[in-house]
Amino acid sequence: MNTGNDGRNGQNDGGNPPDPLNPRVQLAQVAALLAQRRKRQSVRKLADEIGISKSALDGLVAAYNQLREMPQPHATWQKLKDWYLRQKHDESGPLHDPVDMGMLALDMLAALPDAERRAGVRELVASLIAIHESRKLPLPAWVARLAEAVDAPPDED
């Protein structure tokens, strides 16, 4: 995936924000946390903690560091997602990043067929908007970003 980040390791170029529901965007977010953790922890120990192979972890960190193409999400995706969401929640409390929330929303709706999942997220986001509006609460930025994402055509890989 070409992220257009010109060497800024996963940062957006300031153009249109990436689709928070796109699995490759989500994988890049996971790879960023893996690269950060890799600086403090051995690859083998980190891979064991997640439940993936050392080579899979090495590949994601290399992709994050732009040494290779970001891989397609694969068989280890669920383990990576589970680990990532646990880490993010443990570190910072409630999740607020649109990509993190997109990942969580898709995970909550995993029982839906793939073709219906984006529509399910649209309904979930509409409910969140209605809850905030009925209570006259400001809409969190991540809800607004997910609303934009579900109304736009999905990013192509």
What is the per-residue pLDDT across 32-89, written as a single tens digit (0 to 9) for each?
999 999 999 999 999 999 999 999 999 999 999 998 888 877 789 999 999 999 999 8
Is the residue at 92 inside a domain?
Answer: yes
**pLDDT score, position 14:** 56
Is the residue at 89 inside a domain?
Answer: yes
Residue 12 burial (CB count, 10 A): 13
Is the residue at 127 inside a domain?
Answer: yes
Instruction: Write out the residue range of the structural domain in which residue 33 sits.
Output: 23-151
| CA nearest neighbour of 80 among 88, 68, 69, 92 | 88
Is the residue at 18 inside a domain?
Answer: no
Quickly state the pLDDT bin for 4 (edges 50, 70, 90). Answer: very low
Residue 13: is its pLDDT beyond 70? no
**pLDDT score, position 10:** 43
CB 85 within 8 A of CB 104: yes
Total structural domains within the chain: 1
**pLDDT score, position 157:** 57
Residue 93: is its pLDDT beyond 90? no
Q: What sign results for the dihedral spanned by CA atoms 100, 60, 36, 77? A: positive
Is the residue at 40 inside a domain?
Answer: yes
Quickly state the pLDDT bin for 9 (edges 50, 70, 90). Answer: very low
Residue 55 burial (CB count, 10 A): 10
Is the residue at 2 inside a domain?
Answer: no
Is the residue at 57 inside a domain?
Answer: yes
Q: What does pLDDT average to over the chain?
A: 87
Looking at per-residue pLDDT, the higher value among 13 and 137 belongs to 137
Is the residue at 10 inside a domain?
Answer: no
Does the global pTM surpass 0.85?
no
Q: Mapping DSSP to helix (H, G, I), strand (E, B) and coil, where does residue 119 land?
A: helix
